[in-house]
Structures are given as C-alpha cells and as structure tokens.
Structure 1
Amino acid sequence: MYSVVLADDHPLLLRGLQGLLNAATEFEVLAATASGTQALSLICDLRPDLAVLDVSMPDTGGLEIQRAIVERRLVVKVIFLAASLTGRQIADAISMGAWGILLKEYAPEALLDCMRQVAGGEKWLPPELVTRATSALPSNTPEKLNLLTTREREVAVLICGGLSNRAIAQKLGTTEGTISIHLHNIYRKLEITNRTTLAALHVQYTANQSG
C-alpha cells in the first residue's frame, strides 16, 4: 500500500479526492489539507510515498512545495493538480522533478491511473501538456539533444529529476565546476538559456522517441 498526502484549497474537491483514494485499496491517505504550508509540514513529518498537490493555493502553492522538497532531498513523488496551467508552470514543474501533472478537468479515473503509474516508478506527463511547455521553441529543438555527449545526456536526465548542480556532481563523482561546464555546453548546443527549458525539452524528446 502506498501512503499519500493530499493538498487542495477547494474543500469539496479535497473531500472528493479523499473518497476516491479511500475506495482504492492500494492507497492510504495519511493526511489531507487545504493549506499548502501545512501540506509541506505534513510531508516533512509523515514522509509519504506520494503527494498530490494543487498548483495554486493561497498560502504556498504546489510548485513552492516541490521546490522545498527538492532542497530538503525528501523522497516523495509529487503529482500536480491544476484547473489550468501555463507553459511556464508546466516547464517549471518538469524541471523540479514532478512525477505527474493532471488538469482537474480529467476524469477521476485518470488520477488513479496516474498515481498507480507513478507509484510503479514511471512518470505521468501528458504529451499535450509537455508540448505546451515547449511550444515557444522551434519544432526541431528537442531533436538537438542528439548533439549531446553521453555525459551531457546524463546531466540532462538528472536535471530533469530536479537535482541541483551540487547533487548532480555528487551523484556522478565530479565537481560542481565540471557540471557547470557541461551545463554551459548543453545550453550552447541546444540554443537555450535555463534548466527549466532543458527539462521540458528532455521530456519532449523522450516522448518523441517512445512514440
């Protein structure tokens, strides 16, 4: 059974999510809250397997919670829910290592499918949302990832996982300075300027390859 923390500032939706998950035998809702600040505290204290977070909450939104999770190196898979998302928000979510992104207009069964896939170790990032994150870029940009060296691709994958330069350096057994050089070369080859765009491009490229 997988443990879950839920956060959404709409009480009716929050109650509905609880009911949906309580009826699914493979998930256990440890806590549900309408406060983003409280959600982060609960995640830190309870260490759930999954956190389902509303992107926009009055106090602390889902993206800010995900950023704190990455900084604190907590092992929890985050799934974002949103009424609507801009391309920038999607790209930010991807770059910070989000495991799933769903619009609230999706059928409830889609959330269960997403959670099962994420719990099994696979990301749930709908192609139409990933495309929105990279829509401002030339159509051939994701394919430029083929220009990267093996080590540069390793760095790109870890960035897509939301890791900092320091964490990547530790994982690859090298220095932060070396990672910065790799990142500079990656940006130059792809003609981009930040890790958010890189992460979105990497997801788009992976989707193209699997398709």
Structure 2
Amino acid sequence: MQEPIEKVWIFAPTSLLWSGIEALLRAERFRARLTDGDFQTVDWNDPRFDDAIIIFGADRPDQQIAEHIQMISDARGPTPIVLVLSQDDHRAALSAIAAGASGIIHEDDDAHSMVTCVREIARGREWVSQSVISAALNRGLDQHQSLYAPLTARERQVADLIAAGRSTDTVASELEMAAGTVKVHLHNIYKKLAIPDRGQLIRLILEERTRN
C-alpha cells in the first residue's frame, strides 16, 4: 500500500489567508511550505518537489490553469495538484479537472475541508469540495434535463445527493431507504450514464454546468 504523502508546496502570494493555510497543514503534521515563486520560472524537475502535493490558487485565466498543470505533469509525470478557487468559477474547476488536478476547493471553505482535501489526496484519492459541487448544482442543473433524461425520478434524487457530496449512508437516511438500495440505484445510474463511479458523476455535472 502506498504511503501517504506528507510534503505540501503552496504557490500563492504571501497573505494572511495563505499563511493560515500553511500553518493549518503544519499543525496536521504535513510538511507544508508557502512560496510566492512564479510558475513560469520554477524548475519542476527539482527534487524538492518529489513526492509532494502542489497547491495553487485560481487567480489566472482558465487556459493558464490548464497550462500550469500540464507543465508540472510534463516535467514530473502524474502529480497530485490542488486548485483553490477564489470565486464560484466552474470553468476554472473544469479546466483543472480536465488537465489532471486531483482536488478542487474554495478559499471560503472551512479549515476542516482544506485538511480533508489534502488528507484524501495524500492517500492517492481525488477530492472536490462540497461547496464547489453544490454551487454547480445551484446554478440550475434541473433546467438541463438532457443529463438526467435516462434516469428515473428516484435515481435523479440519488444522483443529486451524491453529486452534492453525500455519502451512501447519508443518502439512504435522507431518502429513507436501505444503503443497499442506494448502491443498486448508483449501479443503475452509472450504467445509464456510461460512467464508472461517483467521481465521474461529479465531473459530468461540472461539464454540464460549463456548457450552460
């Protein structure tokens, strides 16, 4: 089993917000370091970045976000990257995911969300903030029925809750059904939408919101 990553590099302007994030991660025993280094001049082959999570803010156009992620991947191969959104910018989120980012979080998310995001990615998983997902849903996904057209009404309820970050057990509790029934609905949803898992369901929703 892969050992969790402990090293975290944060590329952002020095500020109270980012200094606080650095201190928070250090308190959680991550070897976090904040730097205002320019992405364009960083030597990504530098061994300092070996086995590290890279965090940076979405304070640049969507195309540049994708280019920065691609630049890191070209130099280092697959690398765990977290994008921190400063606004509800679904295009930036989608650009980052499409380019290979492992995590998306909003700078207004609470400290627990930031720590959870980094922990999950350190374990080799992907993580998208519930606030980012909810913002995508709240922009009117229900107005675009093409995505959910193949699903039954119950399957749409399950899909909405899963996409909003609910666990299987929480969905079961909210919809007053057994967890096993939720899993059956999920299996049918993934089959009908031709996707493998809930991560792809979230991506599908973000793509739908970006198109509209």
Tell me the TM-score normalised to structure 1 length: 0.58
User: 2:19 maps to what in 1?
Assistant: 15
2:104–2:129 CA contact under 8 A, matched in 1 = yes
Q: What is the identity, as a one-letter code, of the residue corresponding to 2:144? A: P
Residue ranges of structure 1 left out of the alignment (5+ in a row): 161-197, 206-211
1:53–1:81 CA contact under 8 A, matched in 2 = yes
Q: How does 1:193-204 map to 2 (within 5 A)?
A: 200-201=203-204
User: 1:176 maps to what in 2?
Assistant: none
By how many angstroms is 1:204 displaced?
A: 8.3
Q: What is the identity, as a one-letter code, of the residue corresponding to 1:85? A: D
Q: What is the identity, as a one-letter code, of the residue corresponding to 1:35? A: G
By how many angstroms is 1:143 displaced?
A: 6.9
By how many angstroms is 1:19 displaced?
A: 1.5
Deviation sequence 1:160-205 (CA, Å, 0-9, x none): 7xxxxxxxxxxxxxxxxxxxxxxxxxxxxxxxxxxxxx98317789
By how many angstroms is 1:48 displaced?
A: 3.7
2:113–2:129 CA contact under 8 A, matched in 1 = no
3-state DSSP class of the match of 2:105? strand
3-state DSSP class of the match of 1:122? coil
Q: How does 1:108-187 map to 2 (within 5 A)?
A: 108-130=111-133, 132=136, 138-141=144-147, 146=191
Q: 1:130 to 1:96 in 2, by over 3 A?
A: farther
Q: What is the identity, as a one-letter code, of the residue corresponding to 1:138? A: H
Q: What is the identity, as a one-letter code, of the residue corresponding to 2:34? A: A
User: 2:37 maps to what in 1?
Assistant: 35
2:73–2:79 CA contact under 8 A, matched in 1 = no
Q: Give the aligned length.
A: 158
Q: 1:148 to 1:85 in 2, by over 3 A?
A: closer
User: 2:170 maps to what in 1?
Assistant: none
1:127–1:204 CA contact under 8 A, matched in 2 = no
Identical residues among aligned pairs (%): 19
Match of 2:74 among 56, 71, 75: 71
Match of 1:50 among 53, 57, 67: 53
1:44–1:74 CA contact under 8 A, matched in 2 = no
Q: 1:32 to 1:2 in 2, by over 3 A?
A: same
Q: Distance in 1 between matches of 2:22 and 2:82?
A: 15
Deviates more, 1:118-127 or 1:129-138: 129-138
Match of 1:105 among 87, 103, 108: 108
